[in-house]
Amino acid sequence: HVIEYYLDLLHFMNLNPTAIEPKVYIDAARSAWADDFLKFKGINRDDYLIGVVPGGGVSWGKAVDIRRWAKEKFTQLADKIIDNFPVKMVIFGDKFELELCNSIVSGMKNKAVMIVGQTDLLQFVALLSKCNIVIANDGGPLHLSVGAGVKTVSLFGPVDERVYGQYPNNPDVHRIIKKDLSCRPCYDKFRMPPCQHDKRCLNDITVDEAFDAVKNLLRIKEHI
């Protein structure tokens, strides 16, 4: 994993690092702010909250879509979860993802809260920490959710989940959905060739597969 790779550099300084779980620290003021912000949006502290981050990965620039699951599938997944479980749903994004998130929310038959471009980074993490589960593409919001101690369902395409996935990968807490195709992972040494397979690594992931991953993390008897 890339975390272990970077820690290994310390051996050149005669230091023997111990791999630990990444953690994001949220102060009490921001945690309280997040509670109040969600309450204003109609979400109470005892609601079972699922966050969906359909964007992310903006560091890839124009090639960012190659690592994002289809917005139509996010829409179908969000509706299916609400249809089957008493949960509330938040669609997260930054100001550059307004069109993407609005397309998902407007396409849903159920109600979801959209929080897009309304927070700074630490406020965003504070809101993520209030979620019971976060569903996200491979990218920064996924790892911020892990650091905030939230259960996650991730969708991995061209990037190797063994190197860049949730750390540590505990299936009781984090579920990774990916397709074992002969062409993936194609992202290597910060480079990726043009896709010759119509983004099958992500397009072949079904809504049912993602729903089953969420359902398994819900632990219905325990939480709902």
Task: Please say if the pLDDT value at position 63 is more than 80.
Answer: no
Q: How confident is the model at residue 220 (pLDDT cuts 50, 70, 90)?
A: very low
- List the beta bridge partners of residue 88: 49
* Rounded CA separation 158/195 (Å): 9
Task: Please say if the pLDDT value at position 150 is more than 90.
Answer: yes
Task: Please say if the pLDDT value at position 224 is more than 60.
Answer: no
> Would you state the pLDDT for residue 19?
67
On whether the CB atoms of residues 110 and 89 are closer than 8 A, the answer is: yes
Helix, strand, coil content of the chain in percent (nearest 5): 45, 15, 40
What is the mean pLDDT of the segment spanning 58-77?
Answer: 86
> Would you state the pLDDT for residue 212?
97
Task: Please say if the pLDDT value at position 70 is more than 90.
Answer: yes
* Rounded CA separation 57/61 (Å): 8
> Would you state the pLDDT for residue 221?
46
Q: Which residue has the higher pLDDT, 123 or 194?
A: 123
Q: How confident is the model at residue 196 (pLDDT cuts 50, 70, 90)?
A: confident
* Rounded CA separation 166/152 (Å): 8
| Residue where the block lists tokens 């992310």 | 56
Q: Phi and psi at residue 94, in whole multiples of 5°?
A: -95, 180
Per residue in 20-59, pLDDT (tens digit) is 789 999 999 999 999 999 999 999 999 999 999 999 877 6
Share of the chain above pLDDT 70, in %: 95
